[in-house]
Structure 1
Amino acid sequence: MREVLFDSRWRRALGVGALALLLTTSCGSDDGANDATAETTTSITQAAAVSEPALTWTLPGTLAADFQELQGAMRGRYGMAIMPVGGQRMATFGNWTTGPAWSTMKVPLTIAAIRSDPANGGFAANAAITESDNAAADVLWQALGSPQKAAAAVETVLREGGATQTTVQATRVRAEHSAFGQTEWSLAEQVRFASRLPCLAQSATVMKLMEQIVPSHRWGLGVFPGAEFKGGWGPDTSGKYLVRQFGLIATPSGQIAVAFAAQPDSGAFSDGMNALDKMAALVSEHLGELSAGRCAA
């Protein structure tokens, strides 16, 4: 059966007729080639000759339309990406597409460290994931060997998770921040990685820790019962914060991978955190429209 991102019952309710209309997500992508899409709309496209321009508009009440409305009410750059676990298609929303991974990179880092030595799955892994402890993450990084070896090990995990374009930094771009945290990780590559995370070898320990995030970090995806997630945040050179988060939401039919990013004009961490809360609430309202999945047997 062909995979779809949105529930077929919702699509049939649109009552498409003789015009042979096709429901699409204008920024949806099979291969991430359109990661830089600046505006997201769920659109109806009339079947037409190749030479004729497509007619598109946003459907009121859809996730895309509601995200567009939410973004219009906030000042800054915001992004969201959604993908079923084990799936191939993603939907991306908003005008934020890529930036530093910050502490979200601690997930593949911790998996790499545990693969290197199962003993790394103890205190350091727990603190790095559940508390986002930077010193603990540095212990895991150093356990992988030289900075170049550590970067290569983390990159191997990313490649297995479908993040084919993400290059892990071996040296510190900014002296006060970790090399891996300053690695550029696009929203599209991050949600693709999340969609394959449960399927990766030796990821179970890290995913269990992602369920145990400390209360003070349980914003955004933390509103979903049983969600496995990890946040990351930090300032740019002018002191303005980027706030990110990715993880997995459980549904009766499987899991949905989600990635968020917020870069408010105010530069305040609290505004970024609140924006992620609003995006998570939006996903919750439209959860019935989204396809979930599982790892292939």
Structure 2
Amino acid sequence: MSVTLAVNCYERTYRQVLAPGYFPAIEQMNARTFEQVIALINNVGDPREAQDRAAALVDCGEITGFEFVSDWVPAALQHWRLGHRHFRRRPYLLDYGLVMPLVSSSEYILGWDAETVLEEPADWVSPSLDLLGSDSRVLHASLNWPPARPQDAGVEGDAVARVGDFLLSWGFSDQVFLISRKNMLATDMKTFSPAAIARHAPHPYTFEFRMESYQRASRKVRATYEPVRYRTNLQIDGVLDRTGKSQYEGFRTEALHRVEYHITRQLPSRLGPRWARNASISQARGTKQG
């Protein structure tokens, strides 16, 4: 099964991503060579410099290609039947995810955040591909993550079931995800889920939020490979704080957090994952195969 490695970079991260050695290091961490390696360039101040850096990586064989996200936005809007209004104030938090399957030609896509690093090298992609091909409940696979704060439960706090080394949950994060390109292209990006809205209150209407909304509405799950953990940059403020959070956004974030903790966490499982944060996996309609 072929896999595309796609890394989205932007003003704060493109110099790191488009430096020699960055993409080979990701392949070494994952103990795998990817059939297609793509740099997505999004929201940069100097497109010419970013293009020159990316072209140099193509010339030396470290990546197979690069694309500017903005060039693909019209095609993405047409495919998902979205309008520019769906991008709201921060289009670059959604557009890269819509573009990713359009620029890939592999059967699967590994979406990789610019600052994601595995704690130890491991081939987690192979067992994840096996699960994705055998269990129709699973939409995407991901990796174990360290709790952001000591009091957080981490992946165990989100889990609703286990399949071997995988913990199943309803969440989605763009820090690292492995998904079928075909299934990604079939995602309904206009799906509504109160539980997803509450969980993504600090950054609503993003690619993460829209993928999780679809997962919950269609009763598909994330499979987190528990033995392998990753880390990312937790030393920076939230995206809304960095890009200018309005008074309304601050109020909405606080209000939706209250909804999450006092309503969605306590809703009965029978309402399903669209409403209840940790609904039982028995609510899933897909059937395990193989």
- Pairwise same-fold verdict (TM > 0.5): no
Q: TM-score, normalised by structure 2?
A: 0.27
Give the TM-score of the pair, scaled to structure 1. Answer: 0.26
